[in-house]
């Protein structure tokens, strides 16, 4: 019996070895057969590379000495300017990425709180030059910046820069938003007043979009109140809600572009609201051709889902179409996470995954207060990240806990991008707070310190010494393709000793994948090189859109790539995540697909362009054209995997 068993095991072992040998031979033969087919060769190469690089990070942090980006977003506090006098003082600032001089390389604008904003010119190979002063940006660069957006506001083919201002100030000059108009020669002029956008409203972030489909870009500006309304129970809610409905309490502003001048149409568009806004996103969520809005509110004021009615008005339908939402809404993102062709909504909170931290850092749910909010029409709000899965009929199922991304620490930005090019959009988030003034044990710690120092009260400096300080790493989640995500932070990104707020992605080195730029608090801004082009096994397509004359960067265009069992879908808006705007080149992961049978572009005016049989791993420049509808301007290989392979063998 033992001999038979040994003989059986030996036979199985030999068969296994033969099977492995066949696999190796098949792989070798495949390479030999596809010497003239560069796409298939690329697939085999990267599969082998992945086996050897399973634990290597996709995102590698580039040292400050290499990038020459030395910007540090500082927040200076004192006994007059602190979290009590200005609750948003530790909310951080954003970053915007865009090619300001049209040389093909995305440049970087970093917003500052207690420090000046900085503009960096991309010189190639992750080398940057600080041009803040020589560009003219530095002249009007005072005040507290929050969100930043690169858009071509005057449709001259050059990206301009819109900066939202707020902060712990009373002086008007510090609080008005800035608009830096690109002169096309490396310099900018501040012209917010000329365009009607020198808004005074404690602005957080802007989103530019063509709400009435007349061809030009309009703008929604999310704000927060100048002072904090006292938090109270149900007896104060009726008055609060009534004042909001009457427009007595209001925050956000909406401006329509009328012949190049922005006119306030907040009331006419039915966009009067109130709340401590943190972020906003825009896309055609219900796919009726008109762009809609999702606006995130902190504290008890609920988020807003504004459906564009197509007649220059909006209707907030969040109570009817979403069953419950996030309470302390921070960052947000609209992205199709399951490739069904419909946009899903992700909103972040400050929800620790650790049980002890959740008890120490988070406020307790007050049942009476919760139901009082609901009774006053303020929705069912929970202290969790929410992932609203689009049912395809403009209703949603909330699946954050099922997906495994409901608790991601103190989270600000959320960005969906296909990191490993498997055809599914992964999730990157930024985390951290400089001073955790929400610590539920803070009062006890203060009493202990008073006793230790034998003082009835503490000075401001002594008080701040007691407030807990921590670093919370950023996180990356892999999309598994089955509505669940896996935390891959330990082997997908170099994490470091800083807290991050705003974040943006762009192809900084033109190699066909998306790199990251992070605005950190009290630490040097981070630039991460994406190594997907050499470590992923999937294919991709890169697209640069050229829109019509009044919208040359084609904001609002919709890209659909239908396959037999899925549709990869993307809407071209750059304001997303948290206080930030991303690069304009669109990079879409395709997984194992080796050819694109059909690429559909829906332009804002209803024109549809269909391009058939596109090769993968190439970059295409696609233009809107009234006569020919579509022109493919260029097609160049951007994927460096093949080059890297031949360098190694």
Window from 9-13, 79-83, 345-349, 507-511 with minimum mean pLDDT: 9-13
User: What are the residues whose beta carbons fall under 8 Å from the beta carbon of 253, sequence distance 6 or more?
Assistant: 199, 201, 220, 221, 223, 264, 266
8 Å CB contact between 277 and 164: no
Confirm if 356 and 411 have CB atoms less than 8 A apart: no
Assess contact for 587 and 602: CB atoms under 8 A.
no
| Separation CA 371–CA 380 (nearest Å) | 8
DSSP string, 545-608: EE--TTSTT-TT-EEEEE-SS-EEEEE---B-BSS-B--S-EEEEEET--EEEEEEEE-TTS-E
- Given a cut of 70, is residue 256 above it in pLDDT? yes
pLDDT of residue 26: 28
Q: Which of 82-86, 211-215, 494-498, 530-534 has the highest mean pLDDT?
A: 211-215
Count CB atoms within 10 A of the CB of residue 335: 20
Cα of 355 vs its chain's centroid, Å: 27
Is residue 269 classed as helix, strand or coil in its secondary structure? coil
Taking the C-alpha atoms of residue 329 and residue 560, their distance in angstroms, rounded to an integer, is 29
Give the residue ranges of DSSP H helices in 271-420. 318-321, 355-361, 367-375, 400-403
Residue 200 DSSP symbol: B
- Structure confidence by residue, pLDDT tens digits, 565-606: 999 999 999 999 999 999 999 999 999 999 999 999 999 999
Q: What DSSP designation does 138 have?
A: G
Q: What is the DSSP letter of 491?
A: H
Per DSSP, helices labelled H in 34-171 are: 38-52, 64-67
Closest CA to 220 of 274, 281, 171: 281
**Using one digit for the tens of pLDDT, what is the confidence trace for 446-485?**
888 888 888 888 888 888 888 888 899 999 999 999 999 9
* Alpha-carbon gap, residue 524 to 486, rounded angstroms: 29
- Tokens 């190694």 locate to 648
How far is CA 483 from each of CA 332, 340, 422, 426, rounded to the nearest angstrom?
Answer: 18, 12, 14, 11
Verdict on whether the full-model pTM lies above 0.95: no
| Cross-strand bridge partners of residue 334 | 345
Task: Please tell me whether residue 263 adopts helix, strand or coil conformation.
Answer: strand
Confidence of residue 626 (pLDDT cuts 50, 70, 90): low
**Rg of the chain (C-alpha set):** 26
pLDDT of 636 above 60: no
From 150, 81, 146, select the one nearest 109 (Cα to Cα).
Answer: 150
H or E, element range at 518 = strand 515-521
Angle, in degrees to the nearest 10, between helices 367-375 and 234-246: 30
Strands 608-615 and 618-625: unpaired
Mean pLDDT of the chain: 85
Distance of alpha carbon 31 from alpha carbon 168, whole angstroms: 63
Spatial separation of the C-alpha atoms in residues 584 and 554, rounded to whole Å? 9
Task: Give the tokens for residue 288.
Answer: 């009726």
Mean pLDDT of 518-546: 92
Helical (H) or strand (E) element with 630: strand 629-637
The larger pLDDT score, comparing residue 239 to residue 251, is at 251
Q: Which of 416, 243, 430, 251 is nearest to 330 (CA)?
A: 430
CA 99 to chain centre: 18
* Per-residue pLDDT at 210: 97
Query: Please, which residues have CB within 8 angstroms of residue 530's CB and are 6 or more apart in sequence?
Result: 58, 59, 419, 513, 514, 515, 516
Q: Are 460 and 76 in contact (CB under 8 A)?
A: no
Q: Residue 401 has what pLDDT? A: 96
Distance of alpha carbon 316 from alpha carbon 271, whole angstroms: 9
Structure tokens at 437: 């003034």
172-206 residue pLDDT tens: 889 999 999 999 999 999 999 999 999 998 999 99
Encoding tokens for residue 620? 């295409």
Percent of the chain past pLDDT 70, that is, above it, reads 85
Question: Taking each helix axis from N to C terminus, what angle separates 641-648 and 38-52, rounded to the nearest 10 degrees?
Answer: 70
Residue predicted with more confidence, 97 or 435: 97
d(CA 285, CA 20): 49
């Amino acid at each position: 019996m033992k001999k038979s068993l040994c003989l059986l095991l030996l036979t199985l072992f030999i068969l296994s070895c033969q099977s492995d040998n066949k696999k190796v031979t098949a792989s070798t033969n495949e390479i030999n057969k596809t010497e003239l087919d560069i796409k298939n060769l690329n697939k085999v190469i990267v599969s082998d590379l992945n086996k050897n690089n399973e634990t290597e990070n996709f995102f590698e942090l580039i040292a400050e000495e290499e990038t020459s980006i030395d910007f540090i977003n500082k927040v200076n506090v004192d006994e007059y300017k602190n979290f009590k006098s200005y609750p948003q003082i530790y909310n951080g600032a954003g970053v915007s990425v865009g090619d300001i001089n049209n040389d093909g390389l995305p440049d970087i604008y970093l917003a500052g709180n207690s420090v000046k904003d900085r503009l960096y010119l991309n010189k190639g190979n992750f080398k940057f030059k600080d041009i803040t002063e020589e560009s003219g940006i530095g002249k009007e660069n005072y005040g507290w910046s929050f969100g930043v957006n690169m858009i071509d506001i005057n449709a001259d083919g050059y990206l301009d820069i819109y900066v939202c201002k707020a902060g712990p100030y009373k002086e008007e000059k510090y609080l008005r938003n800035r608009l830096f108009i690109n002169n096309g020669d490396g310099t900018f002029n501040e012209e917010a007043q000329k365009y009607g956008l020198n808004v005074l409203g404690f602005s957080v972030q802007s989103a530019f979009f063509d709400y009435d489909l007349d061809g030009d870009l309009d703008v929604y500006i999310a704000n927060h109140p100048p002072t904090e309304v006292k938090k109270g129970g149900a007896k104060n809610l009726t008055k609060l809600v009534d004042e909001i409905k009457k427009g007595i309490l209001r925050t956000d502003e909406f401006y329509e572009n009328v012949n190049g001048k922005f006119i306030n149409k907040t009331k006419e568009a039915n966009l009067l609201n109130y709340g401590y806004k943190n972020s906003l996103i825009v896309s055609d969520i219900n796919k009726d051709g008109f762009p809609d809005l999702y606006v995130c509110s902190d504290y008890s004021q609920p988020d807003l889902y504004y459906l564009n009615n197509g007649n220059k008005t909006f209707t907030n339908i969040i109570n009817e179409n979403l069953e419950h939402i996030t309470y302390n809404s921070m960052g947000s993102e609209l992205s199709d996470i399951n490739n069904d062709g419909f946009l899903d909504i992700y909103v972040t909170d400050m929800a620790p995954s650790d049980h002890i931290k959740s008890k120490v850092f988070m406020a307790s749910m007050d049942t009476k207060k919760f139901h009082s909010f609901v009774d006053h029409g303020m929705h069912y709000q929970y202290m969790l990240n929410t992932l609203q899965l689009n049912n395809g009929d403009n209703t949603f199922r909330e699946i954050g806990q099922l997906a495994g991304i409901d608790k991601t620490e103190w989270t600000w930005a959320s960005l969906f991008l296909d990191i490993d090019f498997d055809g599914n959009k992964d999730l990157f988030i930024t985390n951290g707070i400089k001073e955790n003034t929400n610590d539920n044990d803070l009062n006890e710690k203060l009493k202990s310190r008073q006793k230790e120092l034998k003082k009835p009260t503490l000075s401001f400096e002594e008080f701040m010494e007691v407030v807990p300080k921590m670093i919370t790493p950023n996180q990356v989640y892999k999309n598994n393709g089955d509505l669940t995500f896996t935390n891959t932070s330990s082997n997908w990104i170099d994490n470091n000793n800083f807290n991050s707020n705003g974040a943006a992605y762009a192809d900084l080195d033109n190699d066909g994948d998306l790199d990251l730029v992070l605005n950190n608090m009290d630490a040097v801004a981070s630039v991460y090189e994406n190594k997907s082009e050499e470590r992923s096994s999937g294919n991709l397509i890169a697209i640069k859109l050229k829109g019509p004359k009044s919208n040359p960067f084609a904001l609002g265009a919709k890209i659909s790539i239908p396959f037999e069992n899925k549709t990869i879908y993307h809407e071209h808006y750059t304001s997303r995540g948290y206080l930030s705007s991303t690069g304009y080149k669109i990079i879409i992961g395709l997984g194992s697909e080796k050819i694109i049978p059909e690429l559909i572009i829906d332009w804002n005016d209803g024109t549809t362009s269909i391009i058939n049989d596109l090769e993968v791993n190439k970059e295409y420049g696609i233009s809107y054209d009234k006569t020919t509808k579509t022109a493919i301007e260029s097609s160049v290989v951007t994927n460096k995997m093949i080059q890297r392979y031949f360098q190694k063998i």
